[in-house]
Structure 1
Amino acid sequence: MANTLLSIQILPQTPGGESSLPYVDRAIAVIKASGVPYRVAPLETTMEGELGELLQIVQRMNDAMTEMGCPSVISQIKVYHNPKNGASMDRLLEKYPDGK
């Protein structure tokens, strides 16, 4: 059972001031490749898993931005950690099945 939800908004400083969308797409691809459950929302992406594993994914996301040529990256994260009872996106959202 997962014990953590981690939401991240990654804000790369792009080379030459170009659009950040391809960089954000790459960051989301890092999450997808990790195999953890995740949900993309308009302003952040939420992952579900073990705290250490999710923090390693954040590290890989930042590394991917550097590899793409970004001189700096801001990663704003929110963490919900519940080792006793676990953490689940589905459980937290069950009252809102249609997202409204």
Structure 2
Amino acid sequence: MNTINLGIQIVPKSKTADSYSLVDRAIAVIRQSGVNHTVTPFETVMEGPQDLLMEIARKAQEAVLEAGAEEVLVYYRMQIRKDDDVTMAEKTAKYA
């Protein structure tokens, strides 16, 4: 399976819990997964096989709900190529 890029933005809704601490739970799940990723102010971008990234995304949203969110909005953006890998480096290496 080809490598893709998946951007995920998780927006938790809670009347009692701090939103940033809830987002931290989602980021912790992504970090613990071991996939290549970059955290930005608006989303976290992951790199890997699509099935694996979607499973990590599901676990991240579940972690936010388990941490106290009553609701979660999840936004995905993916770049997929038919016969080739997609990497973050190809888009950002010139800026490093």
TM-score, with length taken from structure 1: 0.88
Does residue 56 of structure 2 align to residue 63 of structure 1?
A: no
- Residue 4 of structure 1 is matched in structure 2 by 4
Task: In structure 1, give the amino acid aligned to 2:11.
Answer: L
RMSD: 1.5
Distance (whole Å) between structure 2 residues aligned to residue 19 and residue 2 of structure 1: 37
In the TM superposition, residue 83 of structure 1 has moved relative to its aligned partner by 4.2
Cα pair 1:2 1:88 within 8 Å, conserved = no
Cα pair 2:4 2:86 within 8 Å, conserved = yes
- Unpaired runs of at least 5, structure 2: none
- Residue 39 of structure 2 is matched in structure 1 by 40
Distance (whole Å) between structure 1 residues aligned to residue 2 and residue 91 of structure 2: 13
Q: Deviation per CA, 1:21-63: give whole Å up to 9, x if none.
A: 1111111000001010000111111000000100001100111
TM-score, with length taken from structure 2: 0.91
**Kindly, what percent of the aligned residue pairs are identical?**
35
Distance (whole Å) between structure 2 residues aligned to residue 21 and residue 43 of structure 1: 12
Q: Deviation per CA, 1:55-89: give whole Å up to 9, x if none.
A: 00110011101111211100111001124110110
Does residue 25 of structure 2 align to residue 23 of structure 1?
A: no
Distance (whole Å) between structure 1 residues aligned to residue 28 and residue 82 of structure 2: 27
In the TM superposition, residue 2 of structure 1 has moved relative to its aligned partner by 5.1
- Unpaired runs of at least 5, structure 1: none
* Change beyond 3 A, Cα 1:29–1:2: farther
